[in-house]
Structure 1
Amino acid sequence: MSNTITYLQRVEFGDCDPADIVWFPNFFRWIDAASRHFFIESGVPPWHETEQTLGLIGTPLVDTHARFVKTASYGDLLHIRVHVAEWRDKSFVQRYRIERENAAAEGGMDLIMECDEVRIFAARREDGVGIRAIPIPADIRALCS
């Protein structure tokens, strides 16, 4: 089982379209921030440090699947819950559940969005052009599990 980390995001007026609904690309920006937050909260050093020690430059996205359930608007406080749903050799599936506080809802939360992302652990290629997937370091996997 993996750690579950909650990243909080307050929706601002500028995050919304003219209908006062969050413009959908903002969800992906927040999910990306929640992904990095997950690793920091799990004890993984910043990527600039892992590049120096392990050659690991980060976890770029290679696939995503999202399901939007309800809208969100400015003033909402979103809870972005993130965990690793599946570990693979050089990639992993990170699962997100975005909820909004709602005292009237059963359980006090409204589901806004669910998303699965496949990410790789990446290093710079030896020729200096581009990146390549690398095996997931065992110590990072242990910190996040």
Structure 2
Amino acid sequence: MTNYLGYQRKPHYYETDQMGIVHHSNYIRWFEEARADLLDFMDLPYHTIEEAGIIIPVLDVSCQYKGMVHYGDQLTIQVYVEQYTGTRFQFRYEIINEQTKKLVTTGTSSHCFLDQVRQRPLSLKRSYPEFHARFIEQFGEK
């Protein structure tokens, strides 16, 4: 198994204010981009999950700003799974400025797996063992 090296990102000009500093609302979007990139890396993209009748709503999200990000900065967003139960999972994010090697933002998001039609929680382990196996392969039991 190859290790995930993180999501590479440069802020777009429209994501900044007049001083060239990234607006705080963009970080949550970047977490989602990184999360989707990780699922792509696992060969389990969102469209595959959704085609199977599963949705993954966000239950909560948090973001802590440690430093400013400016237009032109090269960023790496590291994504870690802190918890995976087969029904729920929690991600932790670290945004690192590649020029300075400083940690500029941290955050978390919690999610669950729902049956798209019934809108009820489901267990990947029981209902989609092939998807569960990919999560276990990438993250182990947590």
Alignment of 1:1-145 (within 5 A): 4-44=4-44, 46-52=45-51, 54-57=52-55, 59-102=56-99, 105=100, 109-126=101-118, 131-137=119-125, 138-145=132-139
Deviation at 1:16, TM superposition (A): 0.3
Counterparts of 1:135 and 1:83, CA distance in 2: 21
Counterparts of 1:13 and 1:51, CA distance in 2: 32
Q: Structure 1 or 2: larger strand share?
A: 1
- Cα gap change, 1:143/1:89 in structure 2, threshold over 3 Å: closer, same or farther? closer
Counterparts of 2:53 and 2:133, CA distance in 1: 14
TM-score, length basis structure 1:
0.80
Counterparts of 1:49 and 1:101, CA distance in 2: 32
Counterparts of 1:72 and 1:139, CA distance in 2: 37
Counterparts of 1:51 and 1:22, CA distance in 2: 31
- Cα gap change, 1:65/1:90 in structure 2, threshold over 3 Å: closer, same or farther? same
- Cα gap change, 1:24/1:79 in structure 2, threshold over 3 Å: closer, same or farther? same
CA RMSD of aligned residues (A): 1.8
Aligned-pair identity (%): 24
Structure 1 residue runs of 5 or longer lacking an equivalent are none
Relative contact order, CA 8 A, sep 6+: which one is greater? 1
Counterparts of 2:85 and 2:48, CA distance in 1: 23
Q: Residue by residue, what CA displacement relative to the aligned partner does 1:51-105 show, whole Å, maximum 9, x if unpaired? A: 33x4223x22111122100000100011000021111241111010001023xx5
Structure 2 residue matching 1:19: 3-state secondary structure: coil
Counterparts of 2:42 and 2:47, CA distance in 1: 16
Q: Stretches of 4+ moved more than 6 A in 1?
A: none
AA matched with 1:74 = Y
- Cα gap change, 1:12/1:49 in structure 2, threshold over 3 Å: closer, same or farther? closer
